[in-house]
Amino acid sequence: MTVRSHVPADPDYQSRVRESFAQQRVMGYLGATLAKIQPGYCEIHLPFRPELCQQDDYIHGGIVGTIADSAAGYAGFSLMPKDSSVLTVEYKLNLIAPARGDLLIAKGHVVKTGKTLVITQAEVGAMTNSEVTQCATMLQTLICLHQ
Amino acid sequence: MTVRSHVPADPDYQSRVRESFAQQRVMGYLGATLAKIQPGYCEIHLPFRPELCQQDDYIHGGIVGTIADSAAGYAGFSLMPKDSSVLTVEYKLNLIAPARGDLLIAKGHVVKTGKTLVITQAEVGAMTNSEVTQCATMLQTLICLHQ
Amino acid sequence: MTVRSHVPADPDYQSRVRESFAQQRVMGYLGATLAKIQPGYCEIHLPFRPELCQQDDYIHGGIVGTIADSAAGYAGFSLMPKDSSVLTVEYKLNLIAPARGDLLIAKGHVVKTGKTLVITQAEVGAMTNSEVTQCATMLQTLICLHQ
Amino acid sequence: MTVRSHVPADPDYQSRVRESFAQQRVMGYLGATLAKIQPGYCEIHLPFRPELCQQDDYIHGGIVGTIADSAAGYAGFSLMPKDSSVLTVEYKLNLIAPARGDLLIAKGHVVKTGKTLVITQAEVGAMTNSEVTQCATMLQTLICLHQ
């Protein structure tokens, strides 16, 4: 995947994304934080918590998907115009290794921008003692709603 | 989708699924309950809670995906042998209407069983005053790990 | 999947779909025919041909996907307005049994219509001596382009 | 996507992949050729032909998916053991630009190898006058069948 540099339509994209993230109450409830936002890129961190686990004591795949969905969604939203809003149309998530470790790191990238639809991808890594193992990859479609 | 009747390999599938669900600590953390389990079918309920919402006060798509993932996963697990375990390989989720209302209902069905892989689907509805609107549909691949 | 009855926006949807199908030269090249078109439903048939096969002498999964894509796409297009056109945004295809037999039958259904996006699904069966085995299932997103 | 170097289990992977590709009769029927095979990587070329088009004179998305499926599948097969065979479990394809031009180039990469399942991705570009526009991206799951 070639990562191209993107020029944001809205110079205030940083505060617009941070404000929207702060309104996603589920991020606070899970313990996820917005670690980085750049044009076409977003990184979300989620420290391990036992109450997010499935039956084998890994973070549940749906929670992995939740931070990947938001990371890729805000990567896309960073390039959208000032008065727009964003919704996820769909995503596909492959869980490729157990999501265990100290911290999950979800990195969302924009693949293609269009006026209405934006295609993104995300990768999620699990970090233990500063070593990261990729645990999931996602391909996502967003829709930009213009006011 | 034709729903066929399935014969479970393990007559104790009910208690095996319920035990595994109880070990998914994230289900309790979100407030989700296992409402029904039958051979090849599983239903999970999630009452609305503001702390599960995204920026527009709908339940976050990733949380919708979390209960759909578990509903479809346990639909598949109900047909697996006694000493097996189940992992999600991947899923694709289409979010087709806002997930708002009093209660989310995720219904998982088995589409095709194999010795190693099981294909399932799930639909999620949002109920308000006993009226249900479909808000998501999922297609999922599971792997059965034999001990 | 509940199949609801749909009311087409364009009473001439049949001829509009048939005309578009006739312009898909690849359908003729593969040997596929438009077997049935109803509001929100489309069925495409593809007789077995050795030149469509992969290394194990099954019809190649991509060709299975091609007729599923068109069946689901025309299911969606049947409900779109007169002067619109349709494009596939994305699809996910699970190949659940070998595509062999005398005839492949792809059935596309509309799951949800919206002004811009339409969500559809398709199932492909392989028929041998009038017995049909399901060989693939697809979940698809379409975009309606208004002139 | 970080592209890692892969060590093939079978030193004769090149001839094994080329032999399998030659048995995919559909590749010849479409006019596709195996342009490059390396450990964990495969490239397939498909010159434009009007008989592969949909109603807008672009290459049909299902045909784009067919070469992406084979490119990613052979990327995975290149790393599998000598006496194994490969089947596609599922794939998701996003069509991000019209597939028109002189030549389609599908590049498949391995994302993660396992004993049973291999996760891959593919990108398809459309080349006109030596300029390439990305027209599709795919995420795929393969199964390795050991004899």
* C53 interfaces chain D, CB cutoff of 8 Å: yes
Contacts of D29 in chain C (CB under 8 A): 51-52
A45 Cα to chain C: minimum distance (Å): 28
DSSP C17-83: HHHHHHH-HHHHHHT-EEEEEETTEEEEEEE--GGGB-TTSSBPHHHHHHHHHHHHHHHHHTTS-TT
Amino acid (one-letter) located at A19: E
d(CA D122, CA D68): 6
pLDDT tens column, B30-85: 999 999 999 999 999 999 999 999 999 999 999 999 999 999 999 999 999 999 99
Residue D18 has pLDDT above 90, yes or no: yes
Average pLDDT along chain D: 95
Contacts of B87 (CB under 8 A, 6+ apart): A56, A95, B142, B143, B145
Residue D147 has pLDDT above 90, yes or no: no
- Could you give the 3-state DSSP secondary structure of residue A21? helix
Residue C78 has pLDDT above 70, yes or no: yes
| Prediction pTM value | 0.96
* D53 interfaces chain A, CB cutoff of 8 Å: no
* C34 interfaces chain D, CB cutoff of 8 Å: no
Run of H or E including B104: strand B103-113
- Whether D7 maps to a domain, the answer reads no
- Whether C101 maps to a domain, the answer reads yes
pLDDT of residue A4: 61
Contacts of C11 (CB under 8 A, 6+ apart): none
A96 Cα to chain D: minimum distance (Å): 7
d(CA A137, CA B20): 26
- The count of C-alpha atoms lying within 13 angstroms of the C-alpha of C68, restricted to the half-sphere facing its C-beta, is 32
**Cα–Cα nearest to A99, from A65, A140, A138:** A65
pLDDT of residue C1: 43
DSSP C93-138: EEE-S---SSEEEEEEEEEEE-SSEEEEEEEEEEEETTEEEEEEEE
Contacts of A117 in chain C (CB under 8 A): 89, 143
Q: How far is CA A8 from the centre of its chain?
A: 18
**Mean pLDDT within B92-108:** 97
Pull the structure tokens for residue D96.
């991000």
d(CA C147, CA B73): 43
pLDDT of residue B147: 76
Residue listed under structure tokens 């990108």:
D123
pLDDT of residue B4: 61
- Could you give the 3-state DSSP secondary structure of residue B5? coil
- Whether D53 maps to a domain, the answer reads yes
Q: Do D139 and A137 touch (CB under 8 A)?
A: yes
Residue listed under structure tokens 């997930």:
B99
**Mean pLDDT within C125-141:** 97
- Residue C105's pLDDT band (boundaries 50, 70, 90)? very high
Q: Which residue of D has its CA nearest to B139?
A: D90
Contacts of B123 in chain C (CB under 8 A): 1
What is the total count of domains within chain D? 1
d(CA B89, CA B143): 6
Q: Do A94 and D139 touch (CB under 8 A)?
A: yes
* ipTM, interface predicted TM-score of the complex: 0.96
Give yes or no for a contact between C99 and C61, defined as CB atoms under 8 angstroms apart.
yes
- Which domain CATH number covers A23? 3.10.129.10
Contacts of C52 in chain D (CB under 8 A): 25-26, 29
Q: Which of B94, B112, B141 sits opposite C139 (nearest CB)?
A: B94
- Whether C4 maps to a domain, the answer reads no
d(CA B105, CA B70): 12
B–C CB contacts, 8 A cutoff, strictly below? 37
Give the domain extent around B76.
13-146
Q: Which residue of B has its CA nearest to D142?
A: B89
Q: Which of D25, D51, D65 sits opposite C65 (nearest CB)?
A: D65
Radius of gyration of chain C (CA): 15
pLDDT of residue D1: 43
| Distances in whole angstroms, Cα of residue C74 to Cα of each of A114, A125, C18 | 24, 39, 9
* A78 interfaces chain B, CB cutoff of 8 Å: no
Contacts of A66 in chain B (CB under 8 A): 60-63, 65-66
- Whether A7 maps to a domain, the answer reads no
Phi and psi at residue B117, in whole multiples of 5°?
-110, 145
Q: How far is CA D41 from the centre of its chain?
A: 9
* B60 interfaces chain A, CB cutoff of 8 Å: yes
- Whether A1 maps to a domain, the answer reads no
Q: Which of B28, B68, B90 sits opposite A92 (nearest CB)?
A: B90
- Whether B119 maps to a domain, the answer reads yes
Specify burial of residue B115 (Cβ count, 10 A radius: 0-12, 13-18, 19+).
exposed
- Whether D2 maps to a domain, the answer reads no
